[in-house]
Structure 1
Amino acid sequence: MGEQKRKETLKNDFIFGAKNYKFMLIGLGCIALGFALMAGGGSDDPNVFNPEIFNWRRIRLAPTLVLLGFGIQVYAILLNPNKDADSKK
């Protein structure tokens, strides 16, 4: 009887809720997209300079997406998934 009660009280709860994981996946997608946009622009010949490495996409857009993704990750970690349940009490 005591062991059955213990099993009932021990619940495998996740640390984060489904809402947190959705935001984490969105943040991870932003980070991956930012790094993908940063890739490329190099030259096959080391003696030839390719000015494509200094275009707007690699200098402004991609780092902004990466920082936005990290911001979304922080928000996902700090988000309280039980906020609606707590306010109804």
Structure 2
Amino acid sequence: MAEKKTNPVSQGVKDELVFGKKNYQLLLISIAIVAVGFILMMGTTDIYDIRKTLIAPLVVVFGFAFCIYAILKK
């Protein structure tokens, strides 16, 4: 005879998201930081401007590092 499959939710296992609310908030902030970094890289000014060659890449790297922190935060 076929075995009856039971629903794991009915056995006391509750559905949880992988991340908490705070993690998702931090991820959205990190995405915004990366977007600001790329916006800083745009423009028609001199290609060797300090904003485009130093500040904007550092902002993007900081945004990605903040994203890793947001994922690993318990």
Same fold per superposition (TM over 0.5)? yes
Q: How many residues align?
A: 70
**1:33 correspondence with 2:61:** no
- Write the letter of the residue equivalent to 1:79: K
- Write the letter of the residue equivalent to 1:32: A
Residue 5 and residue 65 in structure 1: after superposition, are their counterparts in 2 closer, same or farther (change >3 A)?
A: closer
Q: Within 2, Cα distance between the matches of 1:55 and 1:38?
A: 10
CA drift of 1:64 comes to 0.5
- Within a 5 Å distance, the mapping from 1:8-87 to structure 2 comes to 9-41=12-44, 52-80=46-74
TM-score (norm 2): 0.80
Name the SS for the 2:58 alignment partner. Answer: helix
Q: Within 2, Cα distance between the matches of 1:60 and 1:4?
A: 55
RMSD: 2.2
The structure that is helix-richer by fraction is 1
Q: Which residues of structure 2 form unaligned runs of 5+?
A: 1-5
Q: Within 1, Cα distance between the matches of 2:52 and 2:66?
A: 21
TM-score (norm 1): 0.68
Residue-by-residue CA offset, 1:22-58 (whole Å, 9 max, x unaligned): 11111101100001111122xxxxxxxxx61111110
Q: Which residues of structure 1 form unaligned runs of 5+?
A: 42-50, 81-89
- Write the letter of the residue equivalent to 1:77: I
